[in-house]
Amino acid sequence: MDSDALPSWGAAAESQVTLERLLSVVGAGALELHTAPGGLAAAVTGVSVLDPLEPGFRPRELVLAVGVDARSAHAVDVLRGAGEWAVAGVVFGSGGSGSSDGALRTAAEEAGVAVLFRTAWCTWDQLVGVLRAGLASAGVSPGPMAQAVVLGDLERLADAVAALAGGAVTIEDPEFRVLAYSSTEEDVDEMRRLTILGRRVPPWRVAAMREAGFFRALWGVDVLHRPATGDGPERLVAAVRAGGEVLGSIWVAAVAGRPLAPNASEALRSAARAAAPHLLHHSTRGADTRLVQDAARAVLEGRGCVEVLAERASLPEQGACAVLAVHDGSGGGDEASRLQGMLALHCSAHGHQAVVVPMGERALMVLGSLDADPQRAGNRLAELGRSLARQLSATRRTTVRIGLGDVVQGLARLPESRRSAELALDALLVAGGPRVVASTEDVAEAVGIIKVMDALREVVLPPHTPVARLVAFDAEHSGSRMVATLRAYLDHFGDVPAASRALGVHPNSLRYRIRRITQESHIDLDSADARLLAQLQLRLLDDPKGSGPARP
* Predicted confidence pLDDT, tens digits, the chain (552 residues): 444 444 444 443 444 788 888 888 776 667 888 888 888 888 888 888 887 777 678 888 899 988 888 888 888 889 988 888 889 899 998 765 444 567 888 899 999 999 998 877 777 877 888 888 778 776 655 555 444 566 667 888 888 888 888 888 899 888 888 888 887 756 667 888 888 877 788 888 888 888 888 888 887 777 888 888 777 788 899 888 877 778 889 999 888 778 888 888 888 888 888 888 878 777 666 555 667 787 888 899 888 788 888 877 878 888 899 999 998 866 554 455 567 667 776 776 667 778 888 887 788 999 988 888 888 988 989 998 898 888 888 777 788 899 999 999 999 999 999 999 999 998 888 877 788 899 888 888 877 777 777 777 777 778 888 888 888 888 888 888 889 989 888 888 888 899 899 888 898 988 999 999 888 888 888 888 888 888 888 888 765 444 333 332
Q: Tell me, what's the pLDDT at 543?
A: 58
| Nearest to 520, CA basis, from 461, 468, 479 | 468
Fold of 314-446: Alpha-Beta Plaits (3.30.70)
Q: What pLDDT sits at residue 91?
A: 92
Q: Give the ranges where 46-123 is alpha helix by DSSP (H).
A: 73-84, 101-111
Assign a CATH topology to domain 144-283: Beta-Lactamase (3.30.450)
Q: Which residues, 6 or more positions from 330, have their beta carbon under 8 angstroms from its beta carbon?
A: 336, 339, 361, 396, 398
Distance CA 423, CA 416 (A): 11
**pTM of the entire structure?**
0.47
Domain ranges, ordered by start, for the chain: 19-139, 144-283, 314-446, 460-541
Give the model's pLDDT for residue 531: 87
In terms of Cα–Cα distance, which of 285, 262, 26 is closest to 180? 285
Same fold, 144-283 and 460-541: no
Closest to 551 (Cα-Cα) out of 542, 543, 284, 456: 542
Q: Which CATH superfamily is domain 460-541 in?
A: PucR C-terminal helix-turn-helix domain (1.10.10.2840)
Residue 275 near residue 240, CB atoms below 8 Å:
yes
**CATH code for the structural domain at 19-139:** 3.40.1390
